[in-house]
A = this chain, B = another copy of it.
């Protein structure tokens, strides 16, 4: 925990004071991204202290050779990893022969960072006393452009405070970079060409194996007191990996030297492989014609548009306000939704962990956010991503012994191939497959756009239904179908039998698919014929599916009246988390794995995840009973846990509990609850934070094809508001302590439900419902 570190502010993340021990954490927290690329808040100038260097390009990955202790059949040979890309931000500074390095200088004062979320820029300022007693004031502003998404910009300002000095400013590009999580210290990049032309330089490098060709580029200029210096830099190439430009300038006390640097990447996924340098030049030309300030002005406009649609306001609680904006900001930095080849890695562009790839988080947590805050094409692109990977998912299932087009989507993927290797997860955490079916259902439920299903989705649904039917087996003993040997969402249980969540999801997936086959047959007979022709789905097979769905086994304890997380759950020593000494937590750091497994402790919602997805299948009393049974055993050691519990606590009108869960999910990284923020941010769970306001406090649901709200508000807040893009109309909901105001931005009136009652909203007119 780190609760007093980031200054509370409605719109900015602010750090004050320099502590070497915090550098890596702040590098994560102040990360910037524009959907196409992103980077940790590494210093531009040289830094010899502890740092975790990271700059990432969306969709550029490396298949690192798998590392295991004991190989199991079915493990993938490669683990696709997000790649640390060549460094373009670097600007070394030497003043009167002394290098600027915050780790070795005599003093750093007034150190301040600000990540301005409203406008989309990051700034660092400080004064420093170098080893030669030169005192400087430094201010660095940086952003990654949303408008020209292949470029970033840096303005580096230096003011000597105590004397006239000679400053050498050395902007550079460096492809001599590595991944911290490399399994075998393989070389991930091959640098083929370094070019320096005037104020521009280019490094062409391609990734090994995947052979993504990239050109990293820069252009810089230097200004003294605002006037551009015409002198050209001298260029140096080093080790065939690095190119530096060097500007030498005498600067009087209190004068300001500015270095403006543009840099970024062009990649052969978007350009001709042979013409990357000229593509880079085109990008640089656009940027330099605008100049730093004009590009920044565009940035502010672009972010204003994003906030216009996706902002959530909270009055009366700055920390809560800062938390939700940080979450929304990071989600928008990570994924813009314009490219269906991309997805949302759990760490986005802020670190390497988890390979940076696609998890079930996308379908279970992220889609609702993008669906309601963007145009619906964005969510559809995410669904299309999985459609494009269907063949690979079928191959993956074949590797594990399934047949006839059964599809098992990978636990972790970059290109559709599994790239995770821990048998209890890779082979057993199969519920991920169901989340994809659920997302298809959810997309149609919310957007009303059925077209995805006949066009693409039905094939995905069929592949997944086939998997479930084959994966279940009939237990003579129980007279029911069982699903043995799985890991549920609660990863603190492995290789369990009849995980209620998995069994329930499997049954539902089959039934939903059968319905859709029928619906497509009736409504889209051509698509139906095409798909049946392709998948060779027979009536017999559908009967087999039906049989499994109808006769699925669900572990249940009649005494307690609860579904059991899995067979045998009640054999555990049922001591609640409350009664566990604090010194034993987090158990994933304090306990050996076997002890965790035989304990009743739950990492994240499992049975309750099912109650979240299928809330309308159960009564509130049933929810309450299960919440009261399972939450006390839940340690919330997954970032994905507090949001679901916050939503359910709100639904049960337990506002204090809902509020605590909300703070935990929204400030997970800002307050570093899990003591690991230095590894990067928890991007996907940030969508859960959004849900905990919109679905939790706002009580938003789809009921009978209409939006429904049961808004509640924590005592700590005066008012909060959010917006929803519902079928191309923007609805603004503002919830105060005693009333709820709705305002519809659209051409026609819309009917919604509020606390169960029908309310008709005319366009552009605030409607207030009293509590």
Contact = CB atoms under 8 A, between A and B. Distances in A.
Contact of A568 (B70, B74, B399, B497): B497
A474 B574 CA distance: 10
Nearest to A573: B473
Interface string A590-601: 111111011000
Chain A at the B interface: SS class: loop
A590 B72 CA distance: 11
Contacts of A495: 424, 494-496, 597
A136 to B, nearest CB: 43
A475 interface: yes
A485 interface: yes
Contacts of A571: 473, 475, 477-478, 482, 484, 497-498, 567
A614 to B, nearest CB: 25
Give the copy number. 2
B592 A70 contact: no
Interface stretch (A61-69, A277-285, A434-442): A61-69
A579 interface: no
Q: Which of A70, A574, A588, A593 has the most CB of B within 10 A?
A: A593
A448 interface: no
Interface in A401-446: 401, 421-424, 427-428
A703 interface: no
A289 interface: no
A401 B567 CA distance: 25
A150 B71 CA distance: 37
A185 to B, nearest CB: 10
A597 B571 CA distance: 21
A589 interface: yes
Contacts of A423: 593-594
Q: Which of A69, A484, A598 has the most CB of B within 10 A?
A: A69
Interface in A560-602: 567-568, 570-574, 588-595, 597-598
Interface string A120-143: 000000000000000000000000
A422 B74 CA distance: 17
Nearest to A480: B571
A400 interface: yes
Given A69-B69, A475-B570, A571-B475, A400 B592 contact: yes
Contacts of A473: 571-573, 598
A274 interface: no
Given A69-B422, A484-B598, A497-B571, A593 B474 contact: no
A66 B70 CA distance: 11
A485 B67 CA distance: 26
Nearest to A401: B595
A240 B478 CA distance: 70
Interface in A515-568: 557, 567-568
Contacts of A476: 570, 574
A341 B74 CA distance: 40
A619 interface: no
A671 to B, nearest CB: 24
Nearest to A423: B593
A67 to B, nearest CB: 6
Contacts of A496: 495
A69 B421 contact: yes
A602 to B, nearest CB: 15
A588 B73 contact: yes
Q: Which of A72, A422, A557 has the most CB of B within 10 A?
A: A72
A613 B478 CA distance: 32
A421 B594 CA distance: 12
Contact of A593 (B427, B557, B570, B574): B427
Contacts of A485: 594, 597-598
A485 B591 CA distance: 14
A591 B421 contact: no
Interface in A745-759: none
B573 A474 contact: yes
A97 to B, nearest CB: 42
Nearest to A185: B184
A591 B494 contact: no
A502 to B, nearest CB: 13
A636 B498 CA distance: 28
Q: Which of A70, A567, A594 has the most CB of B within 10 A?
A: A594
A517 to B, nearest CB: 27
Nearest to A484: B598
Contact of A73 (B422, B567, B589): B589
A631 to B, nearest CB: 20
A559 to B, nearest CB: 9
A595 B470 CA distance: 12
Contacts of A588: 73
Given A473-B572, A478-B571, A72 B484 contact: no
A394 to B, nearest CB: 15
A723 to B, nearest CB: 40
Contacts of A572: 473, 475, 484
A703 B474 CA distance: 45
Given A494-B495, A497-B571, A590 B477 contact: no
Nearest to A73: B592
A568 B568 contact: yes
Contacts of A73: 588-593
Contacts of A69: 66-69, 421-422
Q: Which of A474, A494, A497, A571 has the most CB of B within 10 A?
A: A571
Contact of A67 (B67, B475, B482): B67
B67 A595 contact: no
Contacts of A427: 592-594
Interface in A206-237: none
Interface string A459-492: 0000000000000011111100010110000000
Lowest 6 CB-CB distances: which A-B pairs, in order?
A74-B592, A427-B594, A485-B598, A477-B570, A475-B571, A72-B593
Given A401-B595, A482-B571, 8 more contacts: A67-B67, A67-B69, A70-B422, A74-B592, A427-B593, A428-B594, A477-B557, A568-B568
8 contacts: A66-B69, A72-B592, A73-B589, A423-B593, A427-B594, A476-B570, A477-B571, A495-B597
